[in-house]
Amino acid sequence: MAEPQNPGLEPALSAILWTPDRYETIRKTIASLRAQTVCEQIELVLLGPTEASLEGPSADLEGFAACRKVVLGSLEKSSVIRAEGARAASAAIVAFRQDHAVPVRGWAEALLKTYEGPWSGVSFAIANDNPDTATSWANFLLQYGAWADPPPPGPPTHIGGHMASYRRDVLMAYGDALPRKLETSVAMHWELIRQGHRFAISPEAVVYHQNHSRFWPSLELRFQTGRLFAANRTRSWPALKRVAYAAAAPLIPPLRLYRLMRDAVRVGLAKRSLTLAPVSAVLLIWDGVGQAVGALAGHGGAMEWITGIEYHRNRFMVECEVSEFSRQFGPAHGAAE
């Protein structure tokens, strides 16, 4: 682990970011964090398989409160990576970042302001960075519809998985179980709510997220995410209850399609419903199949597969969308474009 970049500064927020191969993969996201209005309050926690994978220009790290580098060797499970990043962090608030998601300039400041409330975790407001195809919108709403910009009012029942932040002590309370809990974060959130924790969405902490827009890879994505969710949700259930869950899996797609289209209307996509609804329905059917398999046979290699597609998102985007982030990270949320 590297020493703090600016030892005299006390970080308020640790931004956790990992690369599977080289520094260039995460350089754009680091630049977006350096452009934050409260950069001097941010600690970077960078994780990678080797020391060389984390070596970049020293100028990229100027202005941050600290930069800690953690060499993990194996990066097979993103849940393990995130847990190790949280353990290495020193700030009271930790936020998970990705190479295919870029925050607007006021993201960190808005996030820290939201934490002035009684929240154990705060989700970002998430915007679709490649909004040209129905497949992109379907994947975006399936994964992040509950927090899509503009987010709905009121506290959420769970927050955005990889696109969320937490009070560090809440995560550390899980000890050695944290990697397993982070495999299916929604189940962890439900558990925390039962314990009395509360969550919020920060509407001004906007992040632009790139989504799968190729249809056939999206089918595999939905199957594997459904399988992982159900496997972890039913892990401790008796066999008969898991069989009943699998038998009821065909009921899941219609319910989730209703919720998805409700979110679509909220974010202004009512006119695209004729193309969005059938694409979403097919993807949801595969999610339901994955959930049935997960309940009966466990997650298999779903976690490893999902980790493998978390990088270099342009592999899963149609060619016309493979470009720089449409908003980059200069304007603050609400500024003229």
Collapsed DSSP state (helix, strand, coil) of residue 263: helix
pLDDT digits (tens, 9 = 90+) for 225-255: 999 999 999 999 999 999 999 999 999 999 9
Return d(Cα 163, Cα 228) in angstroms, integer.
18
Res. 327: pLDDT tops 60: no
User: Looking at residue 197, what is its pLDDT?
Assistant: 96
Return d(Cα 281, Cα 260) in angstroms, integer.
10
Phi, psi of 154 (to 5 degrees): 90, 160
Q: How far is CA 175 from CA 14, 72, 84, 275, 303, in A?
A: 19, 18, 11, 45, 20
pLDDT digits (tens, 9 = 90+) for 89-110: 999 999 999 999 999 999 999 9
Return d(Cα 6, Cα 8) in angstroms, integer.
6
User: Between residues 56 and 333, which one has the greater pLDDT?
Assistant: 56
Return d(Cα 60, Cα 75) in angstroms, integer.
24
User: Looking at residue 2, what is its pLDDT?
Assistant: 45
Give the mean pLDDT of 169-191: 93
Q: Are 68 and 88 in contact (CB under 8 A)?
A: yes
User: Between residues 244 and 73, which one has the greater pLDDT?
Assistant: 244
Res. 297: pLDDT tops 90: yes
Res. 263: pLDDT tops 60: yes
Number of other CB atoms surrounding residue 65 within 10 Å: 24
User: Looking at residue 323, what is its pLDDT?
Assistant: 56
User: Looking at residue 153, what is its pLDDT?
Assistant: 85
Return d(Cα 142, Cα 127) in angstroms, integer.
13
Residues 142, 232, 203, 104, Cα dihedral to 10° = -80
User: Beta 66-71 vs 93-96: how paired, if at all?
Assistant: unpaired
User: Looking at residue 254, what is its pLDDT?
Assistant: 96
pLDDT band at 322 (very low <50, low <70, confident <90, very high): low
User: Looking at residue 1, what is its pLDDT?
Assistant: 46
Give the mean pLDDT of 272-290: 96
Cα-Cα end-to-end distance for the chain: 40
Mean pLDDT of the chain: 90
pLDDT digits (tens, 9 = 90+) for 4-61: 455 556 899 999 999 999 999 999 999 999 999 999 999 999 999 999 999 999 999 9
Res. 325: pLDDT tops 60: no
pTM, rounded to two decimals: 0.89
Collapsed DSSP state (helix, strand, coil) of residue 239: helix
